[in-house]
Amino acid sequence: MTPEQRANYKNSIDAAKLLNIEEVHPVFNGIQLTMSTSTAEIALAQIQIYADRCYIVTETHKANVNALDSIEAVDNYDITSGYPEKLNFNI
């Protein structure tokens, strides 16, 4: 999810909670889901933390690659290392 999508879903969850609406209906990959606002809030928090961790790893890789001084070193650099395990939701 993009930062904008995460912000939009957070706004929807917050609005539902404020109005005592117990379910939200997010759409992921074209599929509309039904979940409790508390479950949606937890899932969104997990997605946000995952995104934050991925961003940190990406920025670290960019800095490391920029510090390399040869094409061979860049070619051998593993840009896939260090990322957190992908999230898996059973909905």
Q: Tell me what pLDDT residue 28 has.
A: 85
> How crowded is the C-beta side of 85, counted as CA atoms within 13 Å?
2
Global pTM reads: 0.86
Q: Provide the pLDDT confidence category of residue 19 given band limits of 50, 70 and 90.
A: very high
28-80: per-residue pLDDT in tens? 889 999 999 999 999 999 999 999 999 999 999 999 999 999 999 999 999 99
As a whole number of angstroms, the distance between CA 34 and CA 32 comes to 7
